[in-house]
Amino acid sequence: MTHTSYLMPHTWVRRPTLVLFLVVLTIAVVAAARLRSLQPGPEQPIPFSHRVHAGDKEIGCFFCHQFAMNSSNAGMPSVEKCLLCHNVIAMRFPPIAKIHTYYSRDEGIPWKRVNRVPDFVHFSHEPHLARGFDCGRCHGNVREMDRVSQANVFTMDFCIKCHRQNKASQSCFVCHY
Ligand code: HEC
Ligand code: HEC
Ligand code: HEC
Ligand code: HEC
Ligand code: HEC
């Protein structure tokens, strides 16, 4: 009898404990991943606040996201659009001066994406807005956000649940083609 075979039964007793540990670890990792995806959005090149613009100043969403109604992309406002106001308002405030720098270099502001579905998923704002869903239904109350973060994780379940409730298509090929 070697030392190793003496240890064998001991190892077998421990195995379920090990399995349980791995299961708990997996659940913890998955839960952490989901939590992480709902944390505050990325830091943007300019600290643009929806609370100030869409909330306090009540500028409409379509003023800046002008393609949301009739194109698959909602679109981001051009630098020129910011300058419509900021050629006059708060010009010397450093983040605003930065807008002018992008403009003089003829560059767009490199905003970081917050919401995205994978490439194999087809999503368009158009049919949803045409049915009268509010932006907040999917994006939360953006008017109160200083920094935009995800309000929902766009899982397949999230999409299908609402399609079922509203008798919209659940065919795989509507969202995957
Ligand atoms: C004055 C212009 C302006 C207005 C008005 C505005 N937005 Fe935005 N929006 C931006 C800019 C700039 C960004 C990119 C920077 C950021 O994420 O804050 C953005 C980003 C977003 C994003 C995140 C995009 C992504 O990457 O996933 C959402 C969602 C959004 N806006 C929704 C709204 C909604 C809803 C309204 C109306 C309640 C609104 N916006 C009004 C300028 C505007
Ligand atoms: C329709 C007018 C208008 C447009 C368009 C506009 N802003 Fe503003 N912005 C304002 C007003 C008003 C304030 C508040 C100024 C104050 O409180 O003194 C402001 C404040 C700001 C501030 C100051 C920080 C803060 O949160 O108070 C930043 C930064 C800013 N805007 C960035 C932008 C950017 C970037 C764009 C383009 C995506 C943009 N703005 C488009 C009117 C506008
Ligand atoms: C039915 C859910 C839903 C509604 C309602 C909705 N969105 Fe979105 N939005 C999404 C999804 C999903 C994405 C990510 C799309 C992608 O990755 O192609 C997105 C992306 C965006 C983006 C960033 C990418 C882009 O398209 O330029 C902006 C900005 C945006 N939405 C603004 C709005 C505004 C403004 C409204 C209301 C007028 C609105 N959304 C209503 C689900 C929704
Ligand atoms: C708030 C409810 C709601 C959510 C959330 C939602 N949808 Fe929809 N969607 C609808 C409804 C209702 C329609 C049918 C619109 C119509 O044609 O009358 C629709 C239509 C569509 C269509 C067009 C279907 C066709 O027949 O051409 C696509 C594609 C789509 N949704 C994809 C998605 C994806 C992908 C997501 C998740 C990222 C999503 N939807 C989330 C309610 C929703
Ligand atoms: C209303 C839109 C919608 C419909 C209908 C839909 N899916 Fe999806 N599907 C999605 C979205 C959104 C994702 C991405 C989920 C993510 O990123 O977590 C996805 C992801 C997937 C994935 C990748 C694995 C996963 O779960 O993330 C597979 C496989 C898949 N879908 C198969 C199907 C099949 C098969 C059908 C038909 C029975 C179907 N889907 C119908 C929206 C849809």
Cα distances (angstroms) measured from residue 32 to each of 39, 139, 148, 157: 11, 21, 20, 19
- Token reading at 22: 């791995």
| Nearest to 146, CA basis, from 75, 61, 58, 52 | 52
Q: Each residue of 36-64: pLDDT tens digit?
A: 456 678 999 999 999 999 999 999 999 99
Of 21 and 131, the structure prediction assigns the larger pLDDT to: 131
The mean per-residue pLDDT over the stretch 85-103 comes to 94
Residue indicated by tokens 């932006």: 135
Nearest Cα residue to atom 32 of ligand 2: 48
**151 CA distance to ligand 2 middle (Å):** 23
Work out the average pLDDT over 76-84.
95
pTM of the model: 0.89
Do 154 and 120 touch, CB atoms closer than 8 A?
Answer: no
60 Rama sector, left if φ>0, alpha if ψ -120 to 50, beta otherwise: beta
Q: Could you say which ligand is closest to the alpha carbon of residue 123?
A: 4
What residue owns the CA closest to ligand 5's atom 41? 172
Sequence-ordered alpha helix ranges (H) in the chain: 3-37, 50, 61-64, 79-86, 94-104, 125-130, 136-139, 156-165, 172-175
Distance, CA of 83 to CA of 92 (rounded, Å): 13
